[in-house]
Amino acid sequence: MEKKSYDMKTDLMQKLIPPALLLIVVLLLVNLLLYQYFNNAYFFYGQVNVEHNPCPHGYFRLGSLRNCTPWLSCEAIKREVRKLKRVGEGAVKRVFLSEWKENKVALSQLTVPELQKDFMHGLQMLKSLQSKHVVKLLGYCEEEFTVLTEYHPFGSLKNLNQILNLPKYKNSNMWQNRFLLAINYVSIIHYLHNSPLGTFVMCDSNDLEKVLSQYLLTSSFHIVVNDLDALPLVNKSAGELIKCGHQELQGEFVAPEQLWPYGNNIPFEDNLMPPYDEMTDIWKIPDVSNFLLGDVDGSDLVRFHLFGIHQACKKRPNERPSAKMVLDTYRNVLASLVRETVMPNTRDML
């Protein structure tokens, strides 16, 4: 009797084990496929952008190179850097894709001598503010008004929509990734407002295109700030405010305090124009975020959740939130939306 029930049990086990094994294998395969899919589709923040062993000030590490190299001098740039083709131009700099020891690099040169002061300020800022938020400096030659930086093939942030529409990246064109870029952008503003050297204002930002052209999109879909030529320092405790240039500014993109306040009857005069502070950058955040969020499934839902904080960014300067407050709100909104939509590996991203 006992033997019979034992036989029945083993018989049952033999029948059940193959389907169970099959189920486990199928589950493993599905998991693997899902992992592959999400790994391709989501930008994994916090992993790629942080150098575990950063170089000391005045040195850089590039691509496959293991060691830290000192910033290239005039002689080294002349000897070792080969210009390939022009990839960009603004008012101050002409930028060339170039080659240095089999690495692609960006060589920027002053366009016109009148803008030497802006060029030198940008270089000084690049040197002082090197961090994960700022394009990597590889060398410079002050006599020749030349700067060498890491090359980013995606170019400026203006190209975001074209890049995310390429077949290779189409899967990544989703609200989660675009929201991460907006968080990345606000964290750069937060860095500039709270840098080791004080509070800087991103002045080269009179319209959306202009703002976007000062930032680069890296191949790991991070944002770095690149053009620091118009970056004045606010020193509130010393009562020192700033003005973005000496010309009259117009349009809806700039903050209201950047506009001439005395109407059309009184002609603009720079020394009558009241100065302002870093809150102009906060005014512009909703417009930049709007571009970064784009027009994909879910981006309107994100906009809906950001409505309150974006409204606050458009208040009077001293009523606007700090970059830190905007950043915290963005992160909280992302966390709550992610909780609702079940997203893997979210902890890495926050």
Ligand X SMILES: Nc1ncnc2c1ncn2[C@@H]1O[C@H](COP(=O)(O)OP(=O)(O)O)[C@@H](O)[C@H]1O
- Out of 187, 226, 299, 329, the only residue in the binding site for ligand X (CB under 6 A) is 226
Say if CB 174 and CB 294 are below 8 A apart. Answer: no
| Number of residues lying near ligand X (CB under 6 A) | 23
| Tokens 């990734």 -> residue | 177
One-letter amino acid for residue 252 of the chain: E
From the list 38, 54, 69, 88, which residue makes contact with ligand X (rule: CB under 6 A)? Answer: 88
Nearer to Mg ion, 113 or 239 (CB): 113
Q: Choosing among ligand X, Mg ion, none, which partner's interface includes residue 320 (Cβ < 5 to 8 Å by kind)?
A: none
CB of 205 to ligand X, least distance (A): 11
- Helix axis angle for 175-193 and 323-341, nearest 10°, is 160
- Contact between 139 and ligand X by CB under 6 A: the answer reads no
- Can residue 87 be called a binding residue for ligand X (CB under 6 A)? yes
Residue type, 26: V
Which partner in ligand X, Mg ion, none is near 278 (CB below 5 to 8 A by kind)?
none
Site stretch for ligand X (CB under 6 A), options 213-221, 236-244, 249-257, 324-332? 213-221
In 3D, which of 105, 120, 128, 125 has the Cα closest to residue 57? 128
CB of 138 to ligand X, least distance (A): 10
Angle among Cα 28, 32, 36 to the nearest 5 degrees reads 170
34 binds, among ligand X, Mg ion, none (CB under 5 to 8 A by kind): none
Cβ closest to Mg ion, residue 176 vs residue 214: 214
> Which of 93, 178, 193, 310: binder of ligand X (CB under 6 A)?
93
Torsion on CA atoms 70, 214, 114, 253, rounded to nearest 10: -160
Report the alpha-carbon distance of residue 259 to residue 252 in Å, rounded: 9
Binding site for Mg ion (CB under 5 A): 90, 214, 227
Q: Which does 211 bind (CB under 5 to 8 A by kind): ligand X, Mg ion, none?
A: none
**Contact pick of 42, 71, 90, 222 for ligand X (by CB under 6 A):** 90
Question: Between 145 and 283, whose beta carbon lies closer to ligand X?
Answer: 145
Binding mask 145-164 for ligand X (x = CB under 6 A): ----xxxx--xx--------
Q: Taking CB within 5 to 8 Å according to partner kind, which of ligand X, Mg ion, none is near residue 348? A: none
What would the two tokens of residue 236 be?
A: 């509130």
Question: What does 106 bind: ligand X, Mg ion, none (CB cut-off 5 to 8 Å by kind)?
Answer: ligand X
327 binds ligand X (CB under 6 A): no
- For the chain, what percentages of helix, strand and coil (3-state, to nearest 5) are there? 45, 15, 35
String of DSSP letters for 269-293:
-GGGSPPB-THHHHHHHHHHHHHHH
Q: Which is nearer to Mg ion, 227 or 278 (CB)?
A: 227
* Beta bridge partners of residue 85, listed in sequence order: 97
- Write the DSSP assignment of 6-34 as a string of letters: HHHHHHHHHHHHHHHHHHHHHHHHHHHHH
CB 160 within 8 A of CB 168: no
Applying CB under 6 A, which residues contact ligand X?
87-93, 95, 106, 108, 135, 149-152, 155-156, 213-214, 216, 226-227, 229
